[in-house]
Amino acid sequence: MTEPLQTTRRCVALIPAAGVGARMAAGSPKQYLPIAGQPMLRLTADAFLASPLISHTYIVVSEGDGYIDGVISPSETGVTVLRCGGPTRMDSILNGLRAVREQVADTDLVLVHDAARPGLTPALIRKLIEGAGDAPGGGLLALPVVDTVKSTRGSALATVPRDGLWLAQTPQMFNYALLLRALSEAPDPLAVTDDASAVEMLGYSPLLIEGHPRNLKVTLPSDIRIAEMYMAQTEQE
C-alpha cells in the first residue's frame, strides 16, 4: 500500500467547466458527453475524489447550467459546484478562486484541471504534488515532444528543434495567492494560454512533471474513442 504523502499545505482541485465545446459540434457542452458510459466531467471529478491528497474539489459552471445536477449531486461530500463561470476559462478560474476565498488559505495548493481531461488518475495527481509541491513557482504535468516539429511561419517551411519542447497538460498547481495574483495581474489576457503562462509573466518558472498520454484533452469527436481506449486499458490492468 502506498503511504500517504505528508504535506503541511492543503491541496484543493478547481475544475473550470463553463465552456460549450463548440468544436465537438454536440448537442450539449462537451464536458457532459459520455466517455465509457459516464459523463466526462464525472470521470474528471472522480480522479480527485479518489485521491487522498485532495482535501476538496470545486467545479465552476455557468450560472444557468442545466446539466450539472444530474452529474454531481448537491449533497455529495468532498465536492462543491460553484455557479460563477465566466465567458472565458480564465474568467471562470478567477471567479472560482474568489468564490472560495474564505475556504482556502494563501499557501494552500490549487490544482486547476481541464474538465475535458477525463484520463487523469490519482497516481498522476500524486506525482504532480510530490514533484512540485514545494516549488515556489508551482508546477504542471506535461509531455516531452517526441515528434519532429515543423513551422510554417515566415516564407519557408522549417524544422524546429524539439529538444526542450513540452506539451502542457493539467493539472497545473500553484499556491492560492500566487495563482490569484498571476491571473488578476495578467497584462494581456489573450496571451494567457494556460495558468502557467500567467505565473511565468510574474517571473516564476513552474516545474514540468512528466504526465501521461492518457491525460489527453478531449477536443474533437475522434478524441472520445482514444480516451475510451485508455479507460479500457486501465480496467484490464
pLDDT of residue 1: 39
Q: Which of 158, 181, 32, 220 is nearest to 93 (CA)?
A: 181
5 located within any domain: no
C-alpha cell at 86: 465566466
Using 50, 70 and 90 to split pLDDT, how confident is the model at 231?
Answer: confident
How many folded domains does the chain comprise? 1
**CB-count burial class (<10 Å; 0-12, 13-18, 19+) for 6:** exposed
148 located within any domain: yes
6 located within any domain: no
C-alpha cell at 204: 516564476
Q: Which of 134, 141, 138 is nearest to 47 (CA)?
A: 141
Q: Is the pLDDT of residue 27 over 70?
A: no
179 located within any domain: yes
The enclosing domain of 169 has a CATH number of: 3.90.550.10
Domain of residue 174: give its range.
Answer: 11-236
Q: What is the mean pLDDT of residues 12-28?
A: 74
Q: Which residue has the higher pLDDT, 231 or 35?
A: 35
Q: What is the mean pLDDT of residues 51-74?
A: 96
**pLDDT single digits (tens) 106-161:** 999 999 999 999 999 999 999 999 999 899 999 999 999 999 999 988 778 999 89
CB–CB of 142/212 below 8 Å? no
1 located within any domain: no
**pLDDT single digits (tens) 148-187:** 999 988 778 999 898 999 999 999 999 999 999 999 999 8
CB–CB of 201/137 below 8 Å? no
User: Cβ–Cβ contacts within 10 Å for residue 150, how many?
Assistant: 9
Half-sphere exposure of 106 (CA within 13 A, CB side): 4
3 located within any domain: no
- To the question of pTM greater than 0.85 for the whole model, the response is yes
152 located within any domain: yes
